[in-house]
Structure 1
């Protein structure tokens, strides 16, 4: 049986525990068996290629990014127990007052962290994927009340554990804090290896496990680790844009997700994890492809209906093209986006409402909230 690390004795909260220190990547003694991933890797790569190809079905890739990134932010947060919904996010962006503010804050913090990483990777002056960049993302992720006291943006300085009310009953004890910087440096070297021997998707799978095993932060490791997946998929040219939301697959198969991670450490089963991960990429990419086709069909049908309707002015047409980026909104938000007067924005909203594309949700005469209902239902139904 392959060993993937060593155990070291340490003490935390007065209890003696054995912390796991992973070996450097890639797997060795024996190396990862190529016949265990070649076919599944090919299928996953083809699914990603098809996904990249259908992006042209909509006029703006920003429409796709708006929904895909929010789905990933929501699902990766739900894996950690956050209760926010997609409509909560839309309502928050529309300026509505929500009861579950803390949950929504966690999701919006992930969006901020994701944008930070992506902006850096797409800028010549930006940071590469590195400990420093991940710490910067972590600082944004844990910004707010729930992150207080959890060292946002800093590598942990104390021993943590996973599962169990106390260390002695833990399901897994990550490396001692003094080992974390060196282990992350090794992981960086693997990520930036100029002559990698393994396919990119397989390397993404390995990096995710290694990061989760190191567990370098006091909190937020799972979300940063899954953010790292999305960043590497784009950085290594597997997708032109972050259009796949793998956290949906991981949430649906959450028990197996955790079991596969654990089996790497306890049984050396890298092959089982890589196969599970590649199946997930194929499934998530196929689901995202279907979602894009459905989105394009809905928007194209509504646009065709709008163009054929009487008394539809240029402002109403412009408003319709904004809806995929603001599926719930107030008239004031529409006015600002359209750069027009309040009465003109109101008239445009009213015309789309008359055509059944928009609905008003509050029943109020002031501070009304409008929704592109069919679009919201389509996105929410794909989760």
Structure 2
């Protein structure tokens, strides 16, 4: 691994090799330090142990009293962490006692999991059931009007996969604008630095998983995805290889506060295999969205690789949802929501870890992210359909098909295109893309404005329509 390179941000972290990146007093050799770079988050206070609370006779009576019930019920409905409960108004009751009553209720509905030597658990609350139901309803009804053609669906799918790839990379520290990154992917431009390579790799990984939804989850598939997302950004000996050291902590770069110690390297193989067995097991039903979120959480917690754990975890979530029949995921850029609410993303993970690996906090966060992503795509779809309908009327005299109308509409908003970018964006053959350009040029809607590496670049001609 190269010194000073960004290494990883799992569900709540970025790991970097600090050699040659900090002043001499802070060089730690092979120890990889994780940082919280965007949220100024502090490790929440560990919850009190309920067995100690219940061992006190007076506190025990308060915990089991009828008066405390409503506080516990209200806080559990919102699934508050202890760090939030201790700041709330708990009336005549000690916050410790309210927490104990909350935990007793949670334990009644808690489901336990074990991967390797690490125990996890989660609860399926009424709130979670409601969100799952709403997501299922929206996924089954469909977002597209019956009149929309298959080619337009392909366009929206490719565009969303690009958005997801870009946002996921930006979370890891990729420094580029979304607009420039999309131009690179559309035109198939060779990445010129690590940030752009990360984005291209993520996009390749998203395309890869669409073609591998029929196979079960295996350590080999996880390694394959890792190899794709780290190509050209990591030493070859580390690509697709589980880590062989424990030289890592998840730590705030400024305060030194440690958030997480990944599992020991000698437990990684067994933990990953048990996670795969759990995901592949279809004897006991677990809602696919919950199962996918568990996969996301566990990969980030196990931290099997030197780099790329967060990207692998998010890609695997998409893979499992597509495998489970949620075609809607092709059109959702979940990482865009996570990037915009990164502090909450990190917080939900740390809340879980400090509460005995309770994944419920992380489940709730991801369900909110899913619903927001559906809302965003619906708004985008309505806007684009209306925009294209209006433009189709204006361009009706030029004999353009729907795809060509979309190309012109996009260019009128700025930017350029090439034959290759049309081929990549709309998933058509090279000959079809050439025919598009030729027709639009012949009717005076496109004009050649330059070249990029011997490739002709076209722009909107400015013709009055």
Q: Check conservation: 1:162, 1:171, Cα contact below 8 A.
A: yes
Secondary structure of the equivalent of 1:285? helix
Q: Is the 8 Å Cα contact of residues 361 and 369 (structure 1) preserved in structure 2?
A: yes
Describe how 1:1-383 pairs up with structure 2 within 5 A: 24=114, 32-50=123-141, 52-54=142-144, 56=146, 58-59=148-149, 60=151, 61-92=153-184, 93-94=186-187, 101-122=193-214, 127-144=215-232, 146-148=233-235, 151-159=238-246, 160-164=248-252, 170-239=258-327, 242-268=330-356, 269-307=358-396, 309=397, 312-313=398-399, 317=401, 320=404, 323=407, 328-330=416-418, 337-338=430-431, 345-346=437-438, 348-349=440-441, 351=443, 353=445, 369-371=457-459
**Would you say the 8 A contact 1:57–1:296 is kept in 2?**
no
Q: Which has the larger radius of gyration?
A: 2
Secondary structure of the corresponding residue to residue 211 of structure 1 = helix
Contact 1:202 1:274 in 2 (8 A): yes
Deviation (angstroms), 1:74: 0.6
TM superposition score normalised by structure 2? 0.63
Q: Distance in 2 between matches of 1:112 and 1:351?
A: 35
* Structure 1: runs of 5 or more not aligned: 1-11, 374-383
1:362 Cα offset (Å): 5.6
Kindly tell me: are residues 204 and 14 of structure 1, through their superposed partners in 2, closer, same or farther at Cα, counting changes over 3 Å?
A: closer
* Higher relative contact order (CA closer than 8 Å, sequence separation 6+): 1
| 3-state SS in 1 of match to 2:239 | coil
Measure how far apart 1:108 and its partner are: 0.9
Judge conservation of contact 2:187–2:418 (CA < 8 Å) in 1.
Answer: yes
Question: d(CA) in 2 for partners of 1:277 and 1:169?
Answer: 26
**Residue 162 of structure 1: how far off its partner (Å):** 2.3
CA distance in 1, matches of 2:198, 2:293: 25
What is the TM-score of this pair, normalised by structure 1?
Answer: 0.75
What are the ranges of 5 or more consecutive residues in structure 2 without an aligned counterpart?
A: 1-27, 34-111, 424-428
Q: What residue is the counterpart of 1:8 in the other structure?
A: none
More divergent stretch after superposition (88-97 vs 298-307): 88-97
Corresponding position of 2:23? none
Which whole-Å deviations, capped at 9, do the CAs of 1:242-268 have from their partners, x for residues lacking one? 111111111111011011011111113
**Two-structure CA RMSD over aligned residues (Å):** 3.8
User: SS state of the match for residue 42, structure 1?
Assistant: helix
Residue 102 of structure 1 deviates from its aligned partner by 2.8
Give the aligned partner of residue 7 of structure 1.
none
Deviation at 1:363, TM superposition (A): 10
Instruction: Report deviation, 1:142.
Output: 0.9
Counterpart CA distance in 1 for 2:406 and 2:244 is 46
More helix by share: 1
Deviation at 1:84, TM superposition (A): 2.6
For 1:250 and 1:185, how far apart are their aligned partners in 2?
A: 28
Structure-1 separation of matches of 2:444 and 2:222 = 43
Rounded Cα–Cα distance in structure 2 between residues aligned with 1:371 and 1:188: 49
Separation of aligned partners in 1, 2:387 and 2:403: 16
For residue 352 of structure 1, report the CA deviation from its aligned partner. 5.6
